[in-house]
Amino acid sequence: MKIGILGTGRMGVRLAALYSAAGHEVVLGSRDPARAGGIAEKLAHPRLKAGAYQDALDAPIVLPAIFIRDGLLDQLEEMRESLDGKILIDITNPFNDDYSDFITPWTTSGAEQIAERLPGVRVVGAFKNVWWEVFDAPDFDGTLSDVFVVSDDEEAKQQVIRLGEGTPFRYLDAGRLSNARTVERMTLLSGELGARYDFFPRMNYKLLGEQWTPGQADHTIGPLIA
């Protein structure tokens, strides 16, 4: 599968490396194609190419790695023609400049803002809960952490989950697109906890659970009460 990534910041570069190492063709696009070229040369993955945003937009799956506070929504609107009908992997968390809060109200999410502005695009939220340094060392003492994947487009969501095969994460179908409100805000909490316990920025979530059969003797917690 071919993936176009927009932006050569912390997330763009790491996701380009992640997907190309997993066997996908990746075009890393930048406002400054020479910078993207230098990064691709250093990463030296045979399947990773560099270029301008327009080159990355030729791919059937596009992943913008740009902050909403830096004008992502307006930039995407200018790319509407290239994006229509495609899968857009949305990784945004709408942080303000000092990362103390979000610039969007509680009644929405970055993912929904994009879907609203670009109704012809198949928006799938992913990687929102993964802080950048986790990509550099994804193994936590033998445990891999989770990527929560959300979308209202079931087929696109499953495609993005499959795209993660061969990457060092577990992908969870986290339901509808509006669940991005919760997933995005989980980073406000993980950021604060990471700072408090000195993990920042290498911490992530993993959902713990097990199959439960009613009546099984060794369970102390009863069924959920509806």
Ligand X SMILES: NC(=O)c1ccc[n+]([C@@H]2O[C@H](COP(=O)([O-])OP(=O)(O)OC[C@H]3O[C@@H](n4cnc5c(N)ncnc54)[C@H](OP(=O)(O)O)[C@@H]3O)[C@@H](O)[C@H]2O)c1
Residues that bind ligand X (CB under 6 A): 7-12, 30-32, 35, 65-67, 70-71, 91-93, 95, 127-128, 130-132
What is the closest distance, in whole angstroms, from the C-beta atom of residue 83 to ligand X in the complex? 15
Q: Of the two residues 63 and 213, which places its CB atom closer to ligand X in the complex? A: 63
What is the closest distance, in whole angstroms, from the C-beta atom of residue 32 to ligand X in the complex? 6
What is the closest distance, in whole angstroms, from the C-beta atom of residue 202 to ligand X in the complex? 10
Structure-block tokens of residue 188: 């406000």
| Helix ranges (DSSP H) in 100-213 | 110-117, 154-163, 180-196
What is the closest distance, in whole angstroms, from the C-beta atom of residue 112 to ligand X in the complex? 14
The continuous run of DSSP H or E covering 176 comes out as none
Q: Of the two residues 48 and 65, which places its CB atom closer to ligand X in the complex? A: 65
Question: Which of 49, 11, 17, 47 lies closest to 33 in space, CA to CA?
Answer: 49
Question: Which of 103, 102, 101, 62 lies closest to 80 in space, CA to CA?
Answer: 62
Q: Of the two residues 57 and 91, which places its CB atom closer to ligand X in the complex? A: 91
How many other β-carbons are positioned within 10 Å of the β-carbon of residue 191?
18
Q: Of the two residues 95 and 171, which places its CB atom closer to ligand X in the complex? A: 95
For residue 122, list its beta bridge partners.
Answer: 87
**What is the number of the residue whose Cβ is closest to ligand X?**
9
